[in-house]
Structure formats: structure tokens, C-alpha cells
Structure 1
Amino acid sequence: MCTTCGCGDSAAMITVLRDQPNERDQHHHEHDHQGHYHSHEHDDHDHDHADHVHVPVTETVTLEEKVLAKNDRLAQHNRERLRRSGIVALNITSSPGAGKTTLLERTIGDLDDRPVAVIEGDQETLLDAERIKATGCRVVQINTGSGCHLDAEMLRHALDELDPAPGTLLFIENVGNLVCPALFDLGELAKVVVFSVTEGTDKPLKYPHMFAAADLVVVNKIDLLPYVDFELDRCAEYAHSINPGVPILPVSAITGEGLPSWYTWISGHKSPPSASLEEATTPA
């Protein structure tokens, strides 16, 4: 049991979606029993579920600190790994149904000047990963079972499987949840919060930790503004009361409205040099 958020500890499964799997791809299984990770190919859907471990309430705070401290250490390793390869990793968070997969589909189709890869996070199914794969983009699926967020160790295993090329733009589509992903650093360059106008003007006030952690807020489905009760200006005020100065981009992933600003924001994010590279290039 994850004491930080209360989600279960069933095994996370990492699935590589390939166009033409070879014999190794068909039968490749890796098991990391310390981290409860299972790596398999698209045609294998076996699930292993660990027994739930009940932790006494008096130990919760100590265990939470240990969980987050371990995650932060692993996230820093991920960050250095991504920096060394010049990979720009964006952690895309949202509640379910906000349209982040549709946004990624549209983005992948429009950004044809650089390699793009996606790591998909969902509790179950390969549905979103299949949608991304249909665009021609390389994708790996992480199924978290009863887990409600991705963590740094899951990302490490997914990177091992995906092995993105240097200079790749990597989108990490987190599990649909605006609570727990705010707590877990993955090693990404920036965290993006996507929510839709159908979710209400007061969304930033209801999920302050997520919006406080955001480097960008994308307000999706603005094509529906004439049909819903949503005040864009007031929503921006709420978001800025929690995270002053955070950029807010109103977009429609369906019509394309506002997407040029989204692409400009993406293009402005370059992977910073690693500490080792900075030290190597610093004059004595």
C-alpha cells in the first residue's frame, strides 16, 4: 500500500507496443520483484496482483517520508539520464476525460520536425496507447493496476523499454488524477495540467496542490464554451492565486484553436545540460 495516497501496491505492468514483434518480442518478460514491475509485449495481458499490506496509522508519516524521499532520488536519476540524451520530458496530468490523449494525438500529427515518443499511464487497458500508436508514434504503456499515479521507478522501467533517441520530445501521460501526481516527481522537465471547460471554473481551487506544481495550465475544449457555465477569466484568477504567473493556454484539441501557442510553449523548452556536462565545460 502506498501510504502517501492510499493506492494499492499491485504490480505495475509495462507494455511495449510494436508494429512487427519478433520472437523475442513475443516472449520477452522481465520481472523486477523489488519494484513489482512486469515488462511484457502487447499480446500478453496476464496480471499479477500483490497482497495488500496494512500499515499502522502511527507509521504513516514516517513511511510517507521514506516513499517520497526514495521517489525523489530516483527522479533525479531519471532527470540526469534524460538530460544526457537531450530528451525533453513533459509530464501531462489531468482528471479523467479532460482530453489529454486527444491533445497528444493532435500534437504528434502537427509536430513533424522532431522525434516524439509517449509513455502512457493508465490503471488498466491499452486503449490510449493504441490511439497513440496509430499516429505512428513510439509508445510504451504503463498499467498501474490499483495505483493512482506514475512514480519515478515506473518511469525508469518505461524508459528502459522505450529507449528514446537523443533529442526526443517525450510526453508522459500520467494516470487521470489531479491529486497524487502532484506529489510524485518523475524527473520530467515540466509538469502540464490539462483540464476542460466542462469541469468547472473552480477547478484550480479544488485541486490546489496540482495547480501549484504546474509549469503550464492548458484549458481544453474551449469549443464548448457556448454550451457550458465556465468563466475563463475567473478561472485564470483562481489559478494565479495558487500559482502566480503560471501560463494559461485556452485550446481546443478538436478544432485546433489555441494550439499554435501550445506548440510555441513546447518549442521553448530545451533539455538543460546535465551537471556533469556543465562541470566539463566550465573554465578552470
Structure 2
Amino acid sequence: MVVKNGKEYLKCMDCFKEKDKVNGFYNTKNKLYEKVGKFPICKICLKKSIDYSNVDTIFNILQQMDVKYDPMYWEQAIQRKSDTFSAYITMANSLKQFNGTGWKDSIFNDTPDGSSEKDTIDRKSSSEDLDKLKETYGYGYPDDDYFLFEKKFLQLKPSFQLITTMHEECLREYCVNKVYETLAKAKGDFKQAKDWAAMAKDTAEAGKLKPSQMSKADLSQGLDGFGQLARMVEEKVDIVPVLPKFISQPKDKPDVVLWCYLNYVRDLKGLPEADYKDIYQFYEDRKNDYEKQELDNDPSMTEVE
């Protein structure tokens, strides 16, 4: 936390920008942040992560903030003219009904079939995904289990080189076995858990998934030189969204010093702070202008009549 002109500023853990502590962040009673009293992700970034058509995004944030979910007050928040999530957090921080409560005290309405409100919403919002997962893992499993399979697969996938479809198939089968092993243990059925564990072990050995079977190349994902590193980077489609970070954040100490100095001068003149991306764009404009002048003054570029 820093103080500027008598105001306290916090750095958002998502966008890494310093913002007004009072107006830029939500209050939180989570003991992890009790010294600051604010949730460390700014309001703007937090709202970007909320998808009102996907209740999981709401539950995930409420859980991180350690705020209980109460459908009655959530319905009241929906009726308000302001943003629903902001209205709900305001009630959670001001109403005595929320005092001494946390995420563990959340209330989920029961439906006639005995499932929770959360389960019902999840099933409705993910019917298309369910069809795709059934094609991937095979038909016949309970609907809810498919999402457990995929969650386990996505969790383990970064640790393996899935060179062929067969490698991916082995990992998916391993995930199915591990999920059912865990569920069996949770139910106290250790005999069944042992059977699932044995099948998972066989699948791991067949697909070369066990750590003891992995070679140095497997563990390094084949990165034995700069050439291979460059090839892997070029093959990653996700590299493109990363690139803007190099023009929107300072790269070294001189950049930070210059950024601070420019904003100091702007503050003296009563101007708002400048984002680093604006400074970078100024560099680009001046560079392009300089290059244009050089071309205009280059005799070799003059047209001969």
C-alpha cells in the first residue's frame, strides 16, 4: 500500500495497477486480508471475471472473499438498479444478518428432485459441454461425473507430452480411474477404491504416465536447446495475448523511473496519471516520425525525374 497526495493506493493482484483503496476495491471480512480490509483484486478486474450466466463464477469469487451466498439477498440484489454483485457485497458488508458468517454458511435452495440450486443451474448452462464430453469419454457414466473427468484431465494435461491421440486417450482413461478411486474413498468403500487404483496404475504404465517412467526429455518437455524452445513458443497459439503485456508494463528500472517522473510532472500540472501503454505509444510515434524524416532526407530515396 502506498500513499499519494493523502490518498491510500493498493496494487491490484490481477492488473497490477495502483488504484484508490477506498473506491477501487471491495471491503472484505476475510481474515487473510484483515490488515488491509480490502479484497486484493480491484472492482473492475473482479467484475470482468463474473459471468452471470455461469453461477460458478459468482460462487468462486464469493468463496475467495469468504462471503456466504444467500439466494434471498441475491434476489434482492438483482432487483436493484446497480450492478448485482456490487449490490450483494454492499449488503454482505452492512447487514447484521451477515455478521459472523462466511462461505461455509452459504444457503442453496433445494429443488423437488433433491438436487441443489447450484447443481440445477450448472446442468442447464452446460448441456452442450456435456454432449461433447460424452463423445470424448464414452457414454454410460452419470452426467455429473463427466465434468469431474474433464477437470482432472485439464489439471494433469500440462505435465505430459501428449504427442499422439493414443497418449491423450491413455491420460483420459487414467483420469476416469483416478476420479472413481477418489469417490470410492470418500464413500468409505476401500475395496472398490483399491480396484480403481489398480486400473489407474495399469493405465499409467501403459501410457508411460508414471514419473519413474519419464525420461529427461519427458520432464523437460523436450526442451534440450534454444532451437526447440523457439519451436515450441511458435507453436503455442496462446503466446499472442501475452505480447501486449510488453507494451503495457515497464520492462526495467529506467522505464519505471521515467514513468514515475512523468506522472509526477503531470500531477504538478493537475493532469491525471498516464498509463505506461500511453508512454510506449509516444515512443512509437516519435520513432516512426524520426524514421520518416530520415527517409525524406535520404538522397538515395529521392525520385529521379
The TM-score with structure 2 as length reference comes to 0.22
The TM-score with structure 1 as length reference comes to 0.23
| Structure (1 or 2) with the greater helix fraction | 2
| Structure (1 or 2) with the greater strand fraction | 1
Q: Relative CO higher for 1 or 2, CA cutoff 8 Å, sep ≥ 6?
A: 1
